[in-house]
Amino acid sequence: MTRPRQYPQEMRDRAVRMVQESGERGAIGRVAQQLGINKETLRHWVNQAEVDGGLRPGATSDLIAENRELKKEIFELRRANEILKSASAFFAKELDRPRTR
């Protein structure tokens, strides 16, 4: 289960836009202070926005989300596979046991 986001998406988008529109050195620190956001959190948002926009190399948000979903699916499939293996071993033992009447 994912934890709820501390900041709404609209605020994140606005903060990133403010930094990008400023274009000044140190804008992240000033915007973070104005909005009451941790400076490193805002820096991460700006970097991810640049990746998503194709301005910087890296994994896009969509790719990260897809990867996360695929990892969950793999975990569930492995879990189901283990359950099926256990069940088949149990039933194989039952079939091999001599029957008494």
* 35-57 per-position pLDDT tens digit: 999 999 999 999 999 999 999 99
Q: Which residues of 56-81 are buried (b: 16+ CB within 10 A; e: fewer)?
A: eeeeeeeeeeeeeeeeeeeeeeeeee
Residues 33, 74 within the same domain:
no
CATH number, domain at 43? 1.10.10.10
34, 45: one domain: yes
Q: Do 73 and 100 reside in the same domain of the chain?
A: yes
Same domain (yes/no): 50, 2: yes
Do 11 and 45 belong to one domain? yes
* 94 and 73 both lie in a single domain: yes
Rg over alpha carbons for the chain, rounded to the nearest Å, is 25
Whether residues 75 and 93 share a domain: the answer is yes
Range of the domain at 78: 60-101
**Cβ(42)–Cβ(19) below 8 Å:** yes
Q: Which two tokens stand for residue 3?
A: 């934890």
Q: Whole-structure pTM over 0.85, yes or no?
A: no
pLDDT reported for residue 23 = 85
**pLDDT class of 2 with cuts at 50, 70, 90:** low
| Confidence class for position 4, pLDDT limits 50, 70, 90 | low
Q: How many domains does the chain have?
A: 2
